[in-house]
Amino acid sequence: MQKIAINQHPEDEGSLKIISALIKKAHAKGVQVLLPNYPIIQKNFASLIAKNDMYTNIDIAIAIGGDGTFIRTARIFAASNVPILGVNRGRLGFLNEFLPQEALDYFDEILKGNYTFSERKMMRANIIRNGEQFTAVDYLNDAVITKGSFSRPIRIQLELNDEFVTCYSGDGLIIATATGSTAYSLSAGGPIVLPDDESVFIVNPICPHTLAIRPMVVPDSMVLSARVVTTIENLLLTVDGQEAIALQETDIVHFSRSQYVVHIINHPSRRYFDVLRQKLGWGSNNAE
């Protein structure tokens, strides 16, 4: 291992001690560390700020913060195909596998290459405007079509592989990956999909105006097309809660499997159901 990159929440001064400890361990092994150009990094680690090569020839990336920081890091390094070590300083931390001290304790082994990782597929939202591609964006958790600040419902028409599915009224639509099934989709009544089954995605209407409309789990080999058929302004496509794209009335959004896969460095002992029990407050097994 020769070069690693660290990304953090831009305003989290509490992460600076963790960064210092990681840098010390990495430099002791002759590993170069690159950091983002944030003000608190400029103030404390100016000599390590990455230049143009931050996103190339990286052996691993480290995300320090909450799940939002991990998602931002995953999107930055998606094309680099590098494993990501998630260090949790947020509230929930479904994606960040390690607590700060755990990451420091395990870091020497990671620098030796003694780690495993799981793969999480991303999805792509492709916006078609006036019959041509307007923009495309890849995401790890979810993409959401919403009505902005308007209180009245919007009608969304759905097709799968060009076959009409339904047209319903509601507050919007969530298209979530299996990884994102424990995020916004879960709070909107969607199912939990185990990350081991990354061959599906979730289509979850937000507050539909009929009880007959329910979330669907769809194979990721299919393409979902969504079009808002209500005349309304201020429509938005929000991607991973970090990017908002204004939609026009005639836009069609195609959702499909992305070419990118995120590699998450696994905790050596903690498993997925351990995380669910802890984060969701599930009860212990009382069968004994």
Helices 16-28 and 100-111: angle between axes, nearest 10 degrees = 20
CB 38 within 8 A of CB 9: no
12 is catalytic: no
Q: Which of 235, 252, 223 is nearest to 128 (CA)?
A: 252
* Dihedral Cα 267, 179, 262, 199, nearest 10 deg: 120
* Cα distances (angstroms) measured from residue 129 to each of 100, 136, 254: 45, 11, 11
Spatial neighbors of 63 by CB under 8 A, at least 6 apart, are 7, 8, 69, 70, 72, 73, 74, 84, 85, 86, 87, 96
Q: Active-site residue among 12, 53, 59, 67?
A: 67
Alpha carbons 165 and 117: distance in angstroms, whole number: 37
Instruction: Report the candidate in 248, 201, 212 with the shortest Cα–Cα distance to residue 228.
Output: 248
Catalytic annotation, residues: 67
